[in-house]
Amino acid sequence: MISYGFIKEQIKVTRAHDPAIHSDWEVFLYPSFWAVYYYRKAHQHYLKGHFFRARYISQKAARKTGIEIHPGATIGKNFFIDHGTGVIIGETTEIGDNVLLYQGVTLGGTGKEKGKRHPTIGNNVMISAGAKVLGSISVGDNVKIGAGSVVLEAVPDNCTVVGVPGRVVKRYDKEIPSEIIDQTGLPDPVREDINNLKEANAELTNHIIKLEEELRFLKNDTSGKTEENRIEMDRKNTEGLYGEGI
């Protein structure tokens, strides 16, 4: 039985993150609603040691919603998955409160660990579409992870991570304001590196052009002097053969 408290929480978090919702009833049409509901149900069985029943519920929910949440994962309050197709959350994953995931996110293992092999996600975290957080690493509070990023190392609090592999590109002095929890306007370190290389290449090209101009000037100057010397030598040779009167 779905509790009123759960429904109220999901309506609140859905309205907070998705402007496409027009009425409270629409929350029942969201795959995220049912994925989280069945996860909560399966998690209760998992804690009681009913592992087969827990996995049966979670796998059935995965087929219906396209969102796979292992019943062993620990998930806090106000958890929301926008769209959600392709989201995978591993068994030993720990997720704090007020966490937002987008489609295609993987909170998985590296395949080489035992025991705690999935990430721990802090509070107030946004993980954008297609991002992968792998291994038994910690992602701090108030963190934004950009779309398509692959995070393999621990992430400190109050920062933005982008890239493959993920790296910190921006830090905040305090909690990220809720109005900037979106997937746009994130720094692009790859573009910055390319722009820096373009600037360095332009400077090097200009330097080479100047060197070539100086070389041509020196060459012409030397050629002129050589020609003057040759004429003078011819004059002296002629005088030596025919006398100064010629």
Greatest mean pLDDT range, 187-196, 216-225, 233-242: 187-196
| Mean pLDDT computed over 18-30 | 89
Q: Is the pLDDT of residue 226 over 70?
A: no
| Mean pLDDT computed over 36-42 | 95
Write out the residue range of the structural domain in which residue 150 sits. 4-185
Q: Which of 82, 125, 134, 83 is nearest to 106 (CA)?
A: 134
What confidence tier does 180 reach under pLDDT thresholds 50, 70, 90?
very low
Of 185, 214, 236, the last residue of a domain is: 185
Per-residue pLDDT of 125-147, as tens digits, reads 999 999 999 999 999 999 999 99
Q: Are residues 68 and 154 in the same domain?
A: yes
Q: Are residues 34 and 117 in the same domain?
A: yes
What confidence tier does 203 reach under pLDDT thresholds 50, 70, 90?
confident
Q: Are residues 20 and 92 in the same domain?
A: yes
Distance set, CA 156 to CA 143, 144, 232 (Å): 8, 11, 79
Q: Are residues 181 and 193 in the same domain?
A: no
Determine the pLDDT at residue 231.
Answer: 65
Both structure tokens of 208: 């080479």
Both structure tokens of 229: 């010397």
Determine the pLDDT at residue 170.
Answer: 84
Q: Are residues 145 and 234 in the same domain?
A: no
Q: Are residues 167 and 61 in the same domain?
A: yes
Determine the pLDDT at residue 189.
Answer: 67
Q: Are residues 43 and 153 in the same domain?
A: yes
| Mean pLDDT computed over 194-208 | 86
Q: Is the pLDDT of residue 95 over 90?
A: yes
Q: Is the pLDDT of residue 71 over 80?
A: yes
Q: Is the pLDDT of residue 179 over 50?
A: no
Q: Are residues 147 and 164 in the same domain?
A: yes
| Mean pLDDT computed over 3-10 | 87
Q: Are residues 35 and 136 in the same domain?
A: yes
Determine the pLDDT at residue 173.
Answer: 73
Q: Are residues 57 and 95 in the same domain?
A: yes
Q: Out of 36-40, 110-114, 201-205, which region has the weakest mean confidence (pLDDT)?
A: 110-114
Q: Are residues 162 and 211 in the same domain?
A: no
Whichever domain contains 170, its CATH number is: 2.160.10.10
pTM (predicted TM-score): 0.72
More confidently predicted of 74 and 171: 74
Q: Are residues 179 and 201 in the same domain?
A: no
- Looking at the structure of the chain, the number of domains it has is 2
**Cis link prior to 165 (omega < 30° from 0)?**
yes
Per-residue pLDDT of 40-54, as tens digits, reads 999 999 999 999 999
